[in-house]
Structure 1
Amino acid sequence: MVSEHSLPTLRGSVTALAVAVVCGCIVGQAGADPQPDPAVPVVDAQPAPAAPAADRARSAVPDPAAAFTVPPAPMDPAAAVDQIITLSHEAERANQAVLAQQQKVDAAEADQRAAEARRDAAQAAVDAAQAAVDRYRDTADRVAAANYQGVQVNKLYALMLSKSPQQLLDQMSVLDQITFETEKRLAAYKSAEAEARAARAESAKAADEAAQATTAAQDAQARLRDKQDSLQGRINEVRELYGQMTGAARAQLAGALIPAGFDIAGIVGAGPEFAALQVALTRIGDPYVWGATGPHQFDCSGLVQWAYAQVGIDVPRTSQQQAQGGTPVNPADMQPGDVVTFYDDVSHVGIYAGNGMMVHASTFGVPVKVQTVDSFPIHNVRRY
């Protein structure tokens, strides 16, 4: 039972709780500074007295309304398309940079393997030369010891010690044989020593080259990781923006797979490059994927390389390399099947399809399609 003298305190607590609920305030723990609602003017800057424990327990329950957020308004389709095209071009530039760096890594690793093979061969030569030196070292050591001890083994010494003509002849014959064999072995020893010195020098050079090749390969791999990180960042931006686009914006981005009035069956041409174009046209509708080379998903240079490979023509992997291969063609003289590269940084490529059109793997969210060749600034045209 509540006494009469405690009623004012209870009524005060209930009143305070009601005010807190109405205002949407959450009272913090005792001693914490209360955070003013920016939507409500601050009347008194003095800290409020600590609420009773019961009130603090009730105020710990979150207000459901506080967790509600207003979803962002749908993006304007045209603005969204412009943004994603810009981001996608940056991502494609990063994609081509990754592909080019991967080729540098492959080349550096091949150089490393070759250098290590030369190093191993040079070390094997050192071992063989040292074995030859060891075979003849005993003779060299004996001759050196004999000379040091003053041993006489010449013919004059044999003449002085001989007791008969026959003994002299025998001793001189033996001396000749010993001298011949000794000189031959000494010559072989000197040759082996020279070969060993040369082999050791070559081995040291090969080992140094192998170490440098290893460092170059590691540096190339580090640069590749940096470029891959940059590409992944761009990809994440594109995917995030694409996820915010409305269905109308996505449809506007994708566009028509084949422009109205363009007749694929009416394309006229000849030769392997025209055959490559025909192959590329069979992939219309396939998705764009960074780094993909087919057969059912592509990036821009991947589509070109894959289409030409189907007709037996080896085309480089990156758009920059594709802009340097084949034979240069004046843009005014383009023929169906020619490779067309775009932008100053050569970050995009397609295959000319005739009548001012091209087939290409455009960008994320856009399938392989036919589009006007002047949709982007042309860098150059090559015929493979």
Structure 2
Amino acid sequence: MCAAVTGGPAAADPAALPTTATDAIARMVDLSRQSEQLNQQSLTARADLDAKLALQREADDKLAASTAVADAARAEVRRFQPMIDRTAVAAYTGVRTNSMFAVLSSGSPQQLLDKMSTLDVLSQQTADTVRQFKQAADAATAAESVTRAAADAARAATAAADAVRADVDRKLQDLGVATTQVVEAWGALSARDKSTLAGSPFPPGFDRDSLLAGLVPGSGTSALAAALTRVGDPYVWGATGPDKFDCSGLVQWAFKQVGKNVPRTSSAQAGYGTPVAKGDLQPGDVVLFYPDISHVGIYAGNGMMVHASTFGVPVAVSPINTTPYHSARRY
């Protein structure tokens, strides 16, 4: 079983310790389910953290880029500032640069033309300087606004990543407690109880070779064929192969063998591919279980699936009707 729901495992009640082999196995299965739920929760939280860290890096990159743009814009403003200051001082002190002053102060027609030409150039240069200064100032203001927004986004992304990181840590701690309980419960079982819990890798009458021979090559059926080669491998929380698996890890590994990069968790796998009605299931479809989509396997036809079930139970082929059905997807 695998899960992606909230809530941690309940601590074992000493007063409710199993007194029979059946009770011992039932307790083991119950603890296993709780630990597998936490396993999927921690995997989902880790994926969420990775996404948040990616957003944080993106926000930091945008902040650095916008800061560089703002610095360059401010430098451009500083470049024009002395010229603007001189123009302002000249205007304030009444420096005469008009045409009438040129006429009155000219000693000859040629001198008048020269002065008029110079005044035109000075006037145009002043206008250009003012225009460029305004452009630089506007650019600096806009860049600073972008930088402030980028800084806010970077701080928000960091806070979000920190919150998810704390959630991951809590879930991993809970998972550690849960798996310890499971291993202790499993260790208390007799060899016969362990054998009963593990069961048979194939149901009565199931012929893997005949099934494989009848499969038409394709992404789904080829993934099924890959998964069937792992029958007998142990269940391990958080494992993705090649010789130990949790439920969603087996599905991910099997489809990876045929070139499909499917999501890591059972809840994410429920959104991959296209939906398939239960009545239209074909070998190679991905089947999901429990209301919280807490388990996943690959349909093997005739009401069977191959899956990594739970701790103490190797990868096996089992009926799908022994687990509460949720939905199916075709990859």
TM-score of the superposition, structure 2-length normalised?
0.92
Which structure has more RCO (C-alpha within 8 Å, separation ≥ 6)? 2
Partner of residue 136 from structure 1, selected from 80, 83, 89: 80
Alpha-carbon separation, structure 2, partners of 1:91 and 1:153: 87
Is the contact made by 1:336 and 1:354 (CA closer than 8 Å) also made in structure 2? yes
Partner of residue 161 from structure 1, selected from 105, 108, 112: 105
The residue aligned with 1:368 is 315
Describe the shift of the 1:380–1:318 C-alpha distance in structure 2 as closer, same or farther (beyond 3 A). same
Alpha-carbon separation, structure 2, partners of 1:200 and 1:288: 55
The residue aligned with 1:307 is 254
Is structure 2 residue 228 aligned with structure 1 residue 284? no
Alpha-carbon separation, structure 1, partners of 2:54 and 2:189: 45
Instruction: Classify the secondary structure of the residue corresponding to 2:113.
Output: helix
Q: 1:76: Cα distance to partner?
A: 2.4
Is the contact made by 1:75 and 1:244 (CA closer than 8 Å) also made in structure 2? no
Instruction: Classify the secondary structure of the residue corresponding to 1:367.
Output: coil
The residue aligned with 2:268 is 321
Alpha-carbon separation, structure 1, partners of 2:143 and 2:268: 41
The residue aligned with 1:79 is 23
Alpha-carbon separation, structure 1, partners of 2:279 and 2:28: 31
Is the contact made by 1:74 and 1:245 (CA closer than 8 Å) also made in structure 2? no
CA deviations 1:17-44 (Å, max 9, x no partner) are: xxxxxxxxxxxxxxxxxxxxxxxxxxxx
> 1:361 is aligned with what amino acid?
A
> 2:144 is aligned with what amino acid?
R
Partner of residue 110 from structure 1, selected from 54, 66, 69: 54
The residue aligned with 2:132 is 188
Partner of residue 215 from structure 2, selected from 249, 265, 269: 269
The residue aligned with 2:11 is none
The residue aligned with 1:213 is 157
Q: 1:260: Cα distance to partner?
A: 2.4
Counterpart mapping for 1:217-256 below 5 A: 217-256=161-200
Is the contact made by 2:18 and 2:27 (CA closer than 8 Å) also made in structure 1? no
Alpha-carbon separation, structure 2, partners of 1:233 and 1:130: 56
Q: How many pairs does the alignment contain?
A: 312
> 1:190 is aligned with what amino acid?
K
Q: In angstroms, what is the RMSD of aligned CA positions? A: 1.3
Alpha-carbon separation, structure 2, partners of 1:74 and 1:232: 22
Q: Which runs of 5+ in 1 are unaligned?
A: 1-72
Q: 1:75: Cα distance to partner?
A: 5.2
The residue aligned with 2:10 is none
Is structure 2 residue 280 aligned with structure 1 residue 333? yes
Q: Which runs of 4+ in 1 moved over 4 A?
A: none
Is structure 2 residue 145 aligned with structure 1 residue 201? yes
Alpha-carbon separation, structure 2, partners of 1:338 and 1:269: 13
Is the contact made by 1:75 and 1:245 (CA closer than 8 Å) also made in structure 2? no
CA deviations 1:78-98 (Å, max 9, x no partner) are: 211111111111111111111
TM-score of the superposition, structure 1-length normalised?
0.79
CA deviations 1:134-183 (Å, max 9, x no partner) are: 11111101001111111111212111211211111110111111111221
Is structure 2 residue 325 aligned with structure 1 residue 378? yes
Alpha-carbon separation, structure 2, partners of 1:334 and 1:239: 36
Structure number, greater radius of gyration: 1
CA deviations 1:260-303 (Å, max 9, x no partner) are: 21001121332210000000001111111111111111100000
Is the contact made by 2:70 and 2:143 (CA closer than 8 Å) also made in structure 1? yes
Q: Which runs of 5+ in 2 are unaligned?
A: 1-16
Partner of residue 100 from structure 1, selected from 10, 30, 44: 44
Is the contact made by 1:283 and 1:368 (CA closer than 8 Å) also made in structure 2? yes
Alpha-carbon separation, structure 2, partners of 1:74 and 1:375: 23
Range that drifts further, 225-234 or 114-123: 225-234
Is structure 2 residue 297 aligned with structure 1 residue 350? yes
